[in-house]
């Protein structure tokens, strides 16, 4: 077995055939240095290295690779939790052929080059046409690429900004939100919006303008946001939103309804 192929998951530190435990002083040293993933992998790696006579440099590299891998995975998990993504839908479960979004457009957006440039994404169309699924899948990939995501509905954004207004921390809250490379506001227009929602949305658009990528989904085209928000705020927000935006319109009937009517929305009952 080569060092690069050492399987961390099969390392055993107890039971029959277990790898010898680390000496207590080495275990304590690794704890003090806060190397938990290296410490977990070390017994198996060292046993394999001894049996296969690895070069010491190879041993060190494999152990450090395990620590880096573990930290990267922990960071991604932390960022997924902090982002508040809604359903765990990724590009692996996305069916590109079922979407009305042109496949080349899907592929281009999946490169995330637009996020690196701080460009926006506005997807509008009927309910059930995959808007949220696609944007969430892109958000997961953003996190996989080492970046951060902040996810909101218009309602949750309004509540967040509203609470900040009470204690005068709006600027601080917006700064925290816009530390993320991608900010998402999902399902605009699904619920009635008033002055508070319009103000919250405008503040976010203004804070991200030409700095961070903002993705929005809605059953209403952005040009029609003034039908659900006060016109002045909606116009100012949409002007900034669309200046550097990829605008996509989905079409067709609800994929959810199609699955429901064909029995694909549930696992068949056993009888």
Domains along the chain with CATH numbers: 24-82 (no CATH), 86-253 (3.40.50.300)
Show the DSSP H helices in 130-189 as ranges: 131-144, 154-167, 170-177
Q: What is the pLDDT of residue 23?
A: 85
Pick from 209, 207, 196, 118: nearest CA to 156: 196
Q: What is the pLDDT of residue 259?
A: 58
Q: What is the pLDDT of residue 253?
A: 66
SS3 label, residue 186: strand
Burial class (CB in 10 A: 0-12, 13-18, 19+), 23: exposed
Q: Is 63 within 8 Å of 45 (Cβ atoms)?
A: yes
The two structure tokens encoding residue 215: 């993705």
Helix axes of 195-208 and 170-177: crossing angle, nearest 10 degrees: 60
Q: What is the pLDDT of residue 252?
A: 73
Q: What tens-digit pLDDT sequence spans the chain (271 residues)? A: 444 454 443 444 455 457 788 889 888 988 898 989 899 999 999 999 989 999 999 999 999 999 999 998 888 888 888 888 987 888 888 988 889 999 999 999 999 999 999 999 999 999 888 999 999 999 999 999 999 999 999 999 999 999 999 999 999 999 999 999 999 999 999 877 889 999 999 999 999 999 999 999 999 999 999 999 999 999 999 999 999 999 999 997 665 555 555 566 667 767 6
Q: What is the pLDDT of residue 95?
A: 87
Q: What is the pLDDT of residue 122?
A: 97
Q: What is the pLDDT of residue 1?
A: 43
């Amino acid at each position: 077995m080569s060092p690069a192929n050492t399987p961390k998951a099969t390392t055993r530190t107890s039971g029959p055939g277990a790898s010898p435990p680390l000496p207590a002083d080495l275990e304590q040293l690794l704890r003090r240095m806060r190397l938990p993933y290296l410490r977990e992998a070390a017994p198996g790696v060292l046993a394999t290295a001894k049996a296969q006579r690895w070069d010491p440099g190879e041993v060190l590299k494999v152990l450090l690779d395990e620590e880096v891998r573990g930290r990267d995975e922990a960071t991604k998990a932390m960022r997924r939790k902090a982002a508040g993504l809604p359903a765990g839908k990724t590009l692996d479960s996305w069916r590109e052929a079922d979407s009305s979004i042109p496949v080349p457009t899907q592929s281009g957006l999946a490169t995330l080059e637009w996020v690196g440039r701080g460009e926006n994404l506005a997807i509008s169309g009927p309910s059930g046409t995959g808007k949220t699924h696609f944007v969430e899948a892109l958000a997961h990939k953003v996190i996989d690429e080492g970046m951060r995501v902040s996810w909101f509905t218009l309602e949750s954004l309004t509540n967040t900004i509203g609470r900040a207004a009470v204690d005068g921390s709006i600027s601080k809250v917006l700064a925290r939100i816009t530390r993320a490379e991608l900010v998402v506001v999902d399902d605009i227009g699904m619920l009635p919006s008033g002055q508070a929602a319009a103000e919250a949305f405008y503040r976010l658009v203004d804070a991200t303008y030409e700095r961070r990528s903002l993705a929005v989904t809605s059953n209403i085209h952005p040009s029609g946001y003034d039908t659900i928000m006060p016109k002045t705020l909606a116009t100012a927000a949409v002007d900034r939103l669309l200046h550097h935006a990829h605008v996509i319109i989905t079409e067709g009937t609800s994929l959810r309804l199609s699955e429901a009517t064909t029995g694909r929305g549930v696992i068949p009952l056993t009888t």
